[in-house]
A and B are shown apart, each in its own frame.
Chain A
Amino acid sequence: MATLSKNENQSYFASHEFQQLRNRINKFLGFGLLTVIAFFMIMPYVWVVSTSLRTPAESFTVPPEWIPVDFDVSNYEEVFEEIPFWDQMANSFIITMSVVIGQVFTASLAGYAFARLKFPGRNLIFWIVLATLMIPGQATLIPVFILVTRVLGLGDTLGALIVPSLATAFGTFLLRQYFLQIPDDYEEAAMIDGANQWQIFRRIYLPLASPGMAILAVLTFNAKWNDYLTPLIFMNTEERFPITLGIVRLQGYMGTGSISVVLAGIVLSTLPVIIMYIFGQRYLLEGLQVGGLKG
C-alpha cells in the first residue's frame, strides 16, 4: 500500500522516536502550564491563611512568611465576638440550599422544553428568557425591593433572598445547551420502545444532562453564598444576616488596621463552601462521567 511504502523511507522527523520525543515535550509543556496556573491560583489564599494566624502587628512583615509560625488564634476569637457567627452561617445555608434546589428543578424543566420540545412561540420566549440574562441585576434592584417588601411582605426575612431567585435564565440557558448536545437518536429509539413523553425526559434526557445539573448546582451554591449586595439591601436584623454581611461588617475594621481579623473572617466564611465543594466535586465528577454520552 502507498502509505506503507512511504513509511519505509521516512525522515527522522516522521520517525517513531521523534513522535515520542514530541509527545513527551508536549506533555511536559502541558503539565508545566497546568502547574504554573495552579500555583498562582492557590498562592493568594495561602497568604490569607498564614496572615490570619499572625498577630495584627506582624501582619505586614517583609519578607512575607508563607508558613504560619505564630498560630495566633486571637483574630478568629475576635470574629466570634464581633458578629453572631453561627446564626449567620445557618442563614446562609438555608438561603443557599433553597435556591440551589429550586433552580435545578425549574431550569432542567425549562432547559429541556427549549431544547427538545416544540411549541408555539418557543424561540420568541427563549429570546425573552435570554434577554433577562442581560439585565444588570442592579437595574431591577429598586423595583424588586419595593415588590418584595411592600407587595409580598417579605422584607427582612430569609424569603426575600430566596423567592426572587428560584427561576434562572442562566441555568435554563446552560441546561438547554446540554440537552442540545445530546443526539436525538436516543429519543427515536425510546419512542420505538414505547416510552411516553415524560419517560423520555425523566429516564433518558435528564440523566444524560446530569453534568449540567451538577455544574449548575455548584455554581448556584457558590453565587448565592457569596452574594452580598442583595442581602445588604434587604436585611436589617443582624441575626438574620447571611455570613457575607457579617464579613462586610468586619471589613469595617480595615480602617483600624486589623487586617488579620478581616482575613480570619474571610477564612471562616469560606470553609463551608470549601467543604460543600469537596462533597459536591464527587457528584460533579460522577455526573461528568455518566453524562459522557458514551454509546
Chain B
Amino acid sequence: MTTATYDEKPKRNAIARWLAADTMNGIKRQRALMGFLFIAPTVIGLLIFIVGPMLYSFVLSFHEWNVFRPPEYVGFANFERLAGDSRVFVSFKNTFILMFMTVAILEVLAMALAILVKRLTGGLLGYFYRTVYFFPVLLSGASVAVMLGYMFHQEFGVINYYLSQLGMEKIPWLTSSNVVLITIALTTVWRNLGFTFIIYLGGVSALPEEILEAADVDGAKGWRKLWSITIPLLSPTILFATVTDVIKMLQFFDEPFIMTRGGPGDASRTVVMMMYDSAFGNLELGYGSAIALVLFAIIMIVTGIQFYLSRRWVFYG
C-alpha cells in the first residue's frame, strides 16, 4: 500500500515535507527557520556580552560594592541618593545641551553635504570631498581631544591667535563655564560629521534614479524637490542617523573627559563621566550602576519617542 511506503522512511522526510518549497506554508516555514538561524549569532552574542552584563549591573545597582568587600544589599538607597544629587542633575543637563547642539548641527550639515557632493561632484573631486569630510572620523576621540585641546588653548592656541588677528578678544574656550559646552560640541561635530555624512551619502546614493528623473521631467526643482521628494525618500536614513547620533551623544564621554575633566567646576561633566567617576574613581560600583541604569532608561524613552514620531514622517518604499 502506498501509505506503508510513506511510513517506512518518515523521519527523513518529516522536516523536508514540513518545509516543502512547493507549498506556500512550506516557504513560510523555510523563511521562519532561516530567520532564526540568521539572527542566532547576533542574538547569542548580544545576550552574552551586553544583555547579561546589563542585568548584572541592574542587580549591582541595589548593592553597595567597593570591590574589596562582598556586595551588600541596600535596596533603593542608590536611587534615592541619585534623585537628590545635584551634580547628577547638572550632568544630565549638560548631556542634553550637548546632545541637542551636536545632533542639530550634525544632521543638517551632513545631509546638506551629502546631497551637494552627490549632485555637484563626481570623479576625483567627489573623492576629494568625501575623503576630507571623513578624515577626522579616522582619528581616535583621545587624539582629537588632545590636538583640539591644544588648538583651543586660551593663550597659546592657534584658534585664539587668528581670532585676535581679526581684532576679536581671546575666548576662554575651555576655562569658562559659559563657553566650554560650545567648545566640546564643536570638537564633537568636527570628529563625527564625516560619520553622519557617510551614512547620508549611502542613503542619497541608494535613492531610486527613476523617481528623481521623473521629478525633473515633472519640473520639480530646488527646495520643492528637496522637501517633497528627496527628504521623504531619505527618511529611513534620516531616522537611522538621528537615532544613532542621539544615542551616541547621550553617552558622551571621551572629549570632555580628556579636554576638561568635566570642568570648570562641573560645567562640562556628562552623565557617563559622573558614572565613571563614581564607579572607577570612588569605587562605588553600585552607585555607578544606578546612574548607568537611569541613563539607559532615559535613552530608551528618547528613542521610543523618536520611533513613535517616525510613523508620521518616515516612508518605506
Contact = CB atoms under 8 A, between A and B. Distances in A.
Nearest to A66: B158
A288 B141 CA distance: 27
A26 B35 contact: no
A247 interface: yes
A41 B38 contact: no
Nearest to B49: A164
B81 interface: no
A124 to B, nearest CB: 11
Nearest to A183: B317
A136 B296 contact: yes
B142 A251 contact: yes
A291 B42 contact: no
B120 A31 contact: yes
Contacts, number: 283
Given A44-B151, A110-B41, A262 B31 contact: no
Interface residues on B, range: 35 or more
B104 interface: no
A259 B150 contact: yes
Contacts of B237: 177
Interface string A241-269: 00010011001001000010011001001
B179 interface: no
Given A42-B132, A138-B251, 14 more contacts: A44-B147, A119-B35, A129-B46, A139-B289, A143-B52, A143-B54, A143-B57, A163-B49, A167-B49, A197-B34, A222-B138, A262-B146, A285-B127, A293-B206
Interface of A: 26-27, 30-31, 33-34, 37-38, 40-42, 44-45, 47-48, 60, 62-64, 105-107, 109-110, 112-114, 117-120, 122, 125, 128-140, 142-144, 146-147, 163-170, 172-174, 177-178, 180-181, 183, 196-198, 201, 211-212, 215, 218-219, 222, 225-229, 244, 247-248, 251, 254, 259, 262-263, 266, 269-270, 273-274, 277-278, 281, 284-285, 288-289, 291-295
11 contacts: A33-B112, A40-B190, A41-B133, A110-B43, A117-B31, A119-B31, A134-B296, A134-B300, A138-B279, A144-B49, A291-B205
